Amino acid sequence: MLADFDYFFAQCEELRNPALKDKPVVVGVYSGRTKDSGAVSTANYVARKFGVKSGLPLYLAKKRLKDTEAVFLPVDNEFYEQISEKIMQILRNYADSFEQTSIDEAYLGITQKVHGSFESAGDLAQKMKNDVKRQVGIVLSVGVGPNKLVAKIAADTQKPDGLTVVKPKEIQHFLSPLPVNRLLGVGRKTTAKLEEMGIGTVGELAKYDVQRLMDVFGKKLGVYFHNAAKGVDNESVQETGEAESISRIATLKENTRDLMVVLEKTDRLIEDIHKDVVQRNISFRQVAVIAVMTDLSIRSRSKTLESPTRDAEDLRSSIRELFEKLLGESKLEIRRVGVKISHFAKEEVKQKQLTNFF
């Protein structure tokens, strides 16, 4: 099964500002040369109706959206990472094996969970989608298939908020009519080459003599194209580890050197981090604070605890200590504050050790 979060960066922006929902939303990377230089990172589906998509130069996006109420925003990776991490955490619970491949995409091995049944797989996927919608407020598109290749293409066929299940018997019927560029690794050049050879669809590619494909593209690629077109793929879902740290950062209303003001802000961050800790059932051994000063320089201080903990109070007192230190070592005011925990231990392990001890 493949889960792909819809128009992800733009959807995150809608999440924190629901008033954006009906307007074209464009998230861009501003290169900073001139006001409008840079490119579109992603756009919501309202903006896509105007032909605005990833990679388009921003000045062109502005032009295409000129008579609309379009909203242009700069990327905020930290925020998207946080949302992504929350969703990934939920998805993990639905999988036998889990492989995150990007900030907004993950493969889930679910064969055992659904006892090999594609009906159950569809139900599971729907439940997972609902769960993410309810808990985080984000919609995603899911593809279910007998392997990663088919699952990925299935997820791409219905967006946004899609759910597409392709059973083993349906592979050929599903893949055949698609244009060849829907296969991973078939870019513009390969598409043109295949076109020259009279191959436009995946079905035509599947029927094409594999020896001739090998002559044109080399052995490895030739065999890959042949297999991919038939929906054959033996790649397994490669377990990817969980994030090794959890962090939150926030901007203060006003620059300050007042410890109480700083701690009031970090209390909210602590609450959020602590929720994550409980949900993941981990404890941490290192705490760090980060401060972006008024001159935009970044300072951080960290502390290793004597033993792993998951206690919010431990976190709070460490953060207080670290910020006292940090403020004592600089005369500048603080503009943004961040908190990070790392050096995780699984809580079960600790409990087992305790049990053994007694």
Q: Which residues are near ligand TTP by CB under 6 A?
A: 4-9, 41-42, 54-55, 104, 159-160
Quick one: 41 or 318, whose CB is closer to ligand TTP? 41
Say if residues 26 and 57 touch (Cβ distance below 8 Å): no
Q: How far apart are the C-alpha atoms of 277 and 271, rounded to whole Å?
A: 10
Half-sphere exposure of 308 toward its Cβ, with a 13 Å CA cutoff?
A: 17
Which listed option, Ca ion, ligand TTP, none, makes contact with residue 113 (CB within 5 to 8 Å by class)? none
Distance of closest approach, residue 171 Cβ to Ca ion, in angstroms: 23
C-beta contacts of 101-109 below 8 A and 24+ residues apart? 103/8, 104/4, 104/5, 104/8, 105/2, 105/3, 105/4, 105/5, 106/2, 106/3, 107/1, 107/2, 107/148, 107/151, 107/152, 107/237, 108/1, 108/2, 108/3, 108/237, 109/1, 109/236, 109/237
Nearer to Ca ion, 3 or 277 (CB): 3
**Omega before 179 within 30 of 0, i.e. cis:** no
- For tokens 């094996």, the residue is 97
Question: Nearest-CB residue to ligand TTP?
Answer: 42
Measured from the CB atom, the residue of 153 and 206 that comes closer to ligand TTP is: 153
Active site residues: 105
Residue 160 interface partner, choices ligand TTP, Ca ion, none, CB cut-off 5-8 Å depending on type: ligand TTP
The residue from 2, 4, 152, 199 that contacts Ca ion (CB under 5 A) is 4
328 binds, among Ca ion, ligand TTP, none (CB under 5 to 8 A by kind): none
At closest approach, how far in Å is the CB of 172 from Ca ion? 27
**Minimum CB–partner distance for residue 5 and ligand TTP (Å):** 6
Give the nearer residue to ligand TTP in terms of CB position, either 54 or 304.
Answer: 54
From 320, 311, 310, 315, select the one nearest 264 (Cα to Cα): 320
With contact defined as beta carbons under 8 Å apart, do 64 and 41 qualify? no
Comparison of 42 and 309: residue with beta carbon closer to ligand TTP: 42
Binding mask 79-118 for Ca ion (x = CB under 5 A): -------------------------x--------------
The binder of 42, among ligand TTP, Ca ion, none, by C-beta within 5 to 8 A per type, is ligand TTP
Give least dist CB 132 to ligand TTP, A. Answer: 14
Work out the number of other CB atoms within 10 angstroms of the CB of residue 59: 13
Q: Which of residues 6-25 bind Ca ion (CB under 5 A)?
A: 8
Question: From Ca ion, ligand TTP, none, which one binds at residue 13 (CB under 5 to 8 Å depending on kind)?
Answer: none
Burial class from Cβ neighbours inside 10 Å (0-12, 13-18, 19+) for residue 90 reads middle
